[in-house]
Structure 1
Amino acid sequence: MELFFQQFLNGLTVGGVYSLVALGLTLVYGILHVPNFAHGAFYMSGAFAGYYFMVKLGLNYWVAMAGAAVVVALIAMLADRLVFHPLRNAPELHDMIAAIGILLFLEAGAQAMFGADFHRMPTPYGQIVEIFGLTAPLQRLLIIAGAFSLMIVLHLFLTRTVTGSTIIAMAQNPQGAALVGIDATRVKLLVFAISGALAAIAAVLYAPINLVYPAMGHLVITKAFVIIILGGMGSFPGAIVGGLIIGLAESFGGFYFSTDYKDIIAFILLVVILSFRPQGLFTPKGARA
């Protein structure tokens, strides 16, 4: 039973990170209706930004996280202004190809600046704590608390604020939102900023127990796409639930079967669930909070 709860804790850790990345991807999809393949590069950029602020500049972990969120939010907004906005009237395929171009550009930039080697981000929370007889690194508990707190804050922002309501309206009916005076350009910039910040925070939370390297976003963005398809394209609850399902499945699957097959479990789950629910676990009406 102790081992079971240990794996449950590990699953919540990974699932929380996956959910944050998938939420940012879902936000952009809700506005553009185009899969943003560059989102994995935003995640990678956040990890390197946090690493630079902590290791090179010697900043506090939380200051480094906030700085990484700001940097990646700016990168995401620049990507929208310089790449996606000029293609707003082009076929969706052009947006997808452009997103892949952004991904390659950011990865090449990271490799040029930091090299192709693996880097380890330090953490001030390396202590081991005991809760109800279970031992866990404090950093893992921090990831769980931080990820779920951000999900709650994002939910409250989207459902309880006027700005959040404009994002929901824009996702559900762009033409109708424009007719009532909602500034589509402003909303898109805000969505990209939030999306980039979520990816950066997820990366800085997870980096101390993982490694930082230019291609680190590949597997994460692949899992994020699996999650949003599994949860229902454009569904915010689906992104959260899907992330937790994948995280727990990987943790238990890797423990009870083999870690060699851990990354395949997400795709097996996707096939099984879509066989019964082709629309995903949730059926969104536009993008819902």
Structure 2
Amino acid sequence: MDPTLSLLLNGIVSGLLLGGLYAAAASGLAVSFGMLDIVNIAHPALMVAAGMAVVLVGTALGLDPLLVAVLQAPLFYLLGTLLYRAYHHFFERRGDEALQGLAFFFGVMFIVEVGLVLLLGPEQRFLDPDYAFVTWRLGEIDVPLRMLAPALLALAAIAALWVFLRRSFTGLAVAAVAQDPEALRLMAVDPVRIKRIAFGLSIALASIAGGALVVVQPIEPGSHQVFIGRVFAICIMGGMASLPGCVLAAFLFGVVENLTASFYGPSWSPAVAFGWLLLVLAFRPQGLFGRLA
């Protein structure tokens, strides 16, 4: 096979697998930012905190990091509900959720990063499961399990969330709460409770994303800074509240970024990827799967 074609095919496959990681990181934000209109800028920092917890627990107990990420997801769900309680009590119920709410989550992000540095130090941490060193070879295409396994877990978690949002009453209420909370009250549904559940789910997804991240690459307390722009860009490109759009946008973002890094160098990949975002929004301001207001 032509070397250039082989590099192209491997770049696309690696980009799709990278997109799986991006989808895991952005799907939780699609719930909080897209569906609840809560600009949780601390989401990537909580994802990194989840990854650090996965490393500690996985190392101590000898468990697979992806399994640890799933097992600790309920704890991060509870953390998410507590964060929303504080956000609602101090800001949302008083109508101060715009600027002051953003400052609240910025403070959470700063506290998480500094707390991780004080507790664990600034060093990079990682956890290599046995399959991290296994690569499947399909002709000229390499498929590393280090990236495939996290991508499959991320897609499974997103699919489960999508089914919950589409097939359950609570899930349908989540989709409606940001549009017309008064209508939910007329149906004897507490919109604050629905938002608390949805925000908890978004933080639980951060646990899955953290486990996926720590398998793919080493992390340190400041790793979230790399993901802030990417996850918000993917969420906006996908159509804000659309999980299928979020996944598709994550795949596109990963492929564009990876192909650019392969052919032109890593320094160009963020610029080209965000340029692709601007191009998409120029023709579809509502995003790939979004709807015009």
TM-score by length of 2: 0.90
2:131 counterpart of 1:121: no
**Deviation of residue 253 (structure 1)?**
1.0
**Deviation of residue 25 (structure 1)?**
0.7
- Within the candidate set 195, 207, 224, 2:231 is matched to 224
Partner of 2:89: 85
2:262 counterpart of 1:234: no
**Deviation of residue 10 (structure 1)?**
1.0
- Segment of structure 1 superposing worse, 234-243 or 18-27: 234-243
**Deviation of residue 143 (structure 1)?**
2.1
Counterpart AA for 1:269: W
Q: Deviations over 1:195-222 (max 9, x none)?
A: 1111211221121221111111122121
CA distance in 2, matches of 1:31, 1:235: 9
Counterpart AA for 1:122: D
- Within the candidate set 59, 73, 77, 1:73 is matched to 77
Partner of 1:38: 42
Pair 213,9 (structure 1): closer, same or farther in 2 beyond 3 Å: same
Alignment identity in percent?
28
CA distance in 1, matches of 2:215, 2:209: 11
CA distance in 1, matches of 2:242, 2:159: 15
Counterpart AA for 1:81: R
Q: When the two structures are aligned, how many residues end up with a matched partner?
A: 286
Q: Secondary structure in 1 aligned to 2:178? A: helix
Would you say the 8 A contact 2:124–2:219 is kept in 1? yes
CA distance in 2, matches of 1:241, 1:52: 32
Matches within 5 A, 1:94-243: 94-126=100-132, 127-243=134-250
Partner of 2:20: 16
CA distance in 2, matches of 1:195, 1:131: 35
Q: Secondary structure in 2 aligned to 1:172? A: coil
In structure 2, the gaps of 5 or more residues are: none
Would you say the 8 A contact 2:35–2:240 is kept in 1? no
- Segment of structure 1 superposing worse, 274-283 or 98-107: 274-283
**Deviation of residue 12 (structure 1)?**
1.2
Partner of 1:271: 278
Q: Secondary structure in 2 aligned to 1:34? A: coil
CA distance in 2, matches of 1:236, 1:285: 17
Counterpart AA for 1:10: S
Would you say the 8 A contact 1:121–1:207 is kept in 2? yes
CA distance in 2, matches of 1:239, 1:58: 33
**Deviation of residue 42 (structure 1)?**
1.4
Would you say the 8 A contact 1:12–1:244 is kept in 2? yes
Pair 146,110 (structure 1): closer, same or farther in 2 beyond 3 Å: same
- Segment of structure 1 superposing worse, 163-172 or 193-202: 163-172
Q: CA RMSD in A?
A: 2.0
**Deviation of residue 47 (structure 1)?**
0.5
Would you say the 8 A contact 2:158–2:243 is kept in 1? no
CA distance in 2, matches of 1:191, 1:71: 15
Pair 279,285 (structure 1): closer, same or farther in 2 beyond 3 Å: closer
CA distance in 2, matches of 1:72, 1:221: 19
Would you say the 8 A contact 1:12–1:247 is kept in 2? yes
In structure 1, the gaps of 5 or more residues are: none
Counterpart AA for 2:80: A
- Within the candidate set 2, 5, 13, 2:9 is matched to 5
